[in-house]
C-alpha cells in the first residue's frame, strides 16, 4: 500500500463524509483539479487503500438486522478449505485471523435469532471447523469510521 499524503487524506475525508460525492464536487470543495482528484482516487484504489466496494450498505436494510461475532477454532490442516467455504456464505460479512486462541473471527448477520442459529450451523458444518462460539451484538454504539484517522493525519502536516 502506498503512502497516503495530506492531499489524499483531504480527498478521503470528503468521501468518508459522503461516499457518493462526485469527483468534480470533491475537486471544487478542495480547490483541486478534477483530473488530480480522479488520478489520486485511482492510485488509492489500485494500492489497496480503498475498500473494493464503494458503499457500506447496512445489513438491516437487506433484512438482516441481527448481528454477531463468531469465534472459530479450526483444524490447522484445513484453514484454506474453511476460509473458502466461509467466503461462500452471504451472511459472513467479514473474517479476520486474530492473534491469540481464536483461529478466525467472523462478523455475521441474520434475519432473526432463529436465522442466526441456522447461519451458525452452516458455519459449524464448514470443513475444518472444530468449535464455534458467538457473541450477539445488541446495538451499534460507534459505527465504522475513519474520519478521526484522516483528521489526525491532516493536523500533523
**Which pLDDT belongs to residue 157?**
55
Which has the closest alpha carbon to 95: 85, 22, 43? 85
With beta carbons less than 8 A apart as the criterion, state whether 139 and 99 touch.
no
Mean pLDDT by 10 residues, the chain (157 residues): 83 86 95 96 86 72 94 96 98 96 97 98 97 96 85 69
- The residue extents of the domains of the chain are 6-54, 64-137
Cα–Cα distance, 96 to 146 (Å, whole number): 19
Alpha helices in the chain (DSSP H): 6-17, 23-30, 34-47, 79-87, 113-124, 147-155
**Which pLDDT belongs to residue 20?**
86
Q: Out of 2.60.40.3140, 3.30.70.920, 3.30.70.20, 1.20.1250.20, which CATH number does the structure's domain 64-137 have?
A: 3.30.70.920
**Which pLDDT belongs to residue 102?**
95
Cα–Cα distance, 36 to 41 (Å, whole number): 9
Q: Considering the domain 6-54, what is its CATH architecture? A: Orthogonal Bundle (1.10)
Amino acid at each position: 500500500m502506498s503512502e497516503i499524503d495530506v492531499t489524499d487524506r483531504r480527498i478521503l475525508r470528503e468521501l468518508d463524509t459522503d461516499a457518493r460525492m462526485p469527483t468534480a464536487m470533491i475537486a471544487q470543495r478542495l480547490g483541486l483539479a478534477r483530473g488530480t482528484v480522479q488520478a489520486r482516487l485511482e492510485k488509492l484504489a489500485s494500492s489497496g487503500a480503498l475498500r473494493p466496494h464503494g458503499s457500506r450498505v447496512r445489513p438491516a436494510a437487506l433484512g438482516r438486522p441481527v448481528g454477531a461475532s463468531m469465534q472459530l477454532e479450526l483444524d490447522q490442516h484445513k484453514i484454506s478449505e474453511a476460509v473458502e467455504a466461509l467466503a461462500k456464505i452471504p451472511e459472513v460479512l467479514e473474517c479476520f485471523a486474530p492473534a491469540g486462541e481464536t483461529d478466525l473471527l467472523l462478523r455475521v448477520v441474520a434475519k432473526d435469532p432463529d436465522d442466526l442459529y441456522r447461519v451458525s450451523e452452516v458455519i459449524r458444518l464448514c470443513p475444518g471447523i472444530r468449535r464455534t462460539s458467538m457473541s450477539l451484538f445488541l446495538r451499534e454504539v460507534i459505527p465504522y469510521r475513519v474520519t478521526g484517522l484522516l483528521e489526525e493525519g491532516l493536523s500533523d502536516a
